[in-house]
Amino acid sequence: MAGDSNVTYLTLEGHVQLLKYRYVYFSITLALFILIICSNTIVLYLIYDDESLHEPMYIFIAALLSNALFGSIALYPKLLIDLLSETQTIARSACLLQSFFLYLYAGSEFTLLSAMAFDRYVSICRPLQYHSLVRTQIVKLILLLAWFLPACEIGIAIILTSRLQLCRFTLRRIACDNFSLVKSSCGDTRINNLYGLFILTISIFPYFIFIVFSYTKILIISLRNSKDFRRGALHTCLPHLVVFINFMVICVFEVIQNRIPSGIPHFVRSVASILYLVIPPLFNPVIYGFKMREISKRLKALLKLR
């Protein structure tokens, strides 16, 4: 649909029975958003406030939680507004911008999870080289690249999409994504599709292979050592591994259900399209808050549970 001043608007048609369950959806979404903001902020505060936690492992955890806040802010405010609105519309430029931020969150998440795997690999498999390989300058460079590289990759995809002419002005989604925008466009989209496949490949597989390699090496080293060594390695690696598997499964499911036609109900598709910004941001601070010993101790003290 076209709006004032030649601004192109899109209608988000992913909402199911919105008129009937509007306030139920709004209440649940608002509660999720508040929980995500509060839980991530609390763990971030604990890491920031305690200098003993200013180590690479905890800095990467803080970066992961900050990324969750960034992605949540890109999704939930607009979603909450839509749930209370009569029409769920968004300007095309705003839709492209939201797509960029949501994809940036996902791309940075994989990079940060890889950085955490690298930190644990060096710490456990090459402890004598840890302080030379994971020094402050390296950590800062990794954090810079964690957002800069995905921003460049996704920025190109968004620019390519912005050059296409729209044929349809509706998206069967509850939030914008670049893939749906390309499908709604006219003309030759082969370059967009090829570049999208390229980005998808380099944004997932290299990190996946590296993370699997790192934790496999950690497992091999742990099995060769004492029970205490294995217990310590499991204690520091298990939360990271759970977070990675959780995020990977959600992303793979989203990619499959988004690109392969199937009989999946529309409601399931709509919910699945935002799971990567529901489950990880909600459960990651819980996992790190209660499974990482140093953070857990400070969290219990903060909540006066001891």
**Phi (first) and psi of residue 264, to 5 degrees:** -65, 130
Domain count, the chain: 1
Q: Residue 37 sits in which domain range?
A: 4-302
Give the DSSP letter string of 243-266: HHHHHHHHHHHHHHHHHS-----H
d(CA 277, CA 191): 28
Mean pLDDT by 10 residues, the chain (306 residues): 64 81 91 95 92 91 95 94 90 94 93 93 90 91 94 94 88 88 87 90 88 91 84 84 89 74 70 87 90 84 69
Reported as half-sphere exposure (CB side, CA atoms, 13 A), residue 182 has a value of: 21
Bridge pairing between strands 89-91 and 9-12? antiparallel
Bridge pairing between strands 89-91 and 170-171? unpaired
**Residues composing the chain:** 306
Report pLDDT for 204: 85
Report pLDDT for 37: 96
Q: Is 63 exposed, middle or buried (0-12, 13-18, 19+ CB in 10 A)?
A: buried
> Given CA atoms 121, 125, 127, 133 in this order, what sign does their dihedral have?
negative
Longest dimension (CA), the chain: 70
d(CA 214, CA 122): 9
pTM for this model (two decimals): 0.91
Report pLDDT for 259: 66
Reported as half-sphere exposure (CB side, CA atoms, 13 A), residue 271 has a value of: 9
For 95-126, letters b (16+ CB in 10 Å) and e give bbebbbbbbbbbbbbbbbbbbbbbbbbbbbbe
* H or E, element range at 171: strand 170-171
CATH number at residue 249: 1.20.1070.10
CA-to-CA separations, 246 to 109, 110, 279, 290, 292, in angstroms, rounded: 12, 12, 8, 17, 17
CA-to-CA separations, 52 to 49, 57, 58, 295, 298, in angstroms, rounded: 9, 11, 10, 10, 11
**Phi (first) and psi of residue 239, to 5 degrees:** -60, -45
Report pLDDT for 261: 60
d(CA 17, CA 172): 13
Report pLDDT for 42: 93
